[in-house]
Structure 1
Amino acid sequence: MAELRNFLGNRIRAIRHAKGLTQQNLADLSGLDYRYIGAIERGERNFSINTLEKVLVALKVSLHDVAYFSIEQSEEESVRWEAIDQFIANTEGLTVEQIEILRRVNQEVMRAFK
């Protein structure tokens, strides 16, 4: 079970970083202690479903956003998911039209790489 705990802690850290939050920011938003947040991210603490829910609500993400890919992944996959987390964080608060513009810009950038 430590593997799953470490995986979730790493994902929480990655999403927190993508959103530009410190451990203290996340602690304040979730009502948890910043040291506890650090222990969760490092996989040092068993945490309850209630605690996970507090963290997810504070990060404004779903369980699916945290655990939607394989525990075992390559460095390339890790970098790809980090970019996806960053993109998702950057779209918070945007309108549907603004997100659609970003998608079109992304498509143009990808065409330039080919």
Structure 2
Amino acid sequence: MIKTLETTHGTTKAYYNNVLVEYKRIKNDVYGNPLYKVTPVNFCFRKLAGVYRNYKPTYKHHGYYLLQSYNIATDLQDLMQEVSEKVNFPPFDEAILDKHGYKEVKTLQDQQKEAE
């Protein structure tokens, strides 16, 4: 289950499995599918296979992912799972997230696990 927090500058921070990212809906692709810009918060950019596009770091930005999604919570959970498999994160106290107002969001994977 991912945890999210709306920020004051119009983005949303998401936490899952020790991975913290920030995302924002930016536009649609040429076929009308929604696109989200996902930037890493607590890790350096890594090329991922499960995203629409990888934008490597340049002098203008630190790298980000373009994610095409109709269900952003589920796709973010998949993205963060892939990152956690590539990066070895130290343990993190999730009570800090609750203190700052992060809310739990159930994804399709969570609902399928509960149904079993």
Whose strand proportion is higher, 1 or 2?
2
TM-score between both structures, scaled by the size of structure 2: 0.30
Structure having greater relative contact order (Cα 8 Å, sep ≥ 6):
1
TM-score between both structures, scaled by the size of structure 1: 0.31
For the pair shown, which has the larger CA radius of gyration, 1 or 2? Answer: 1
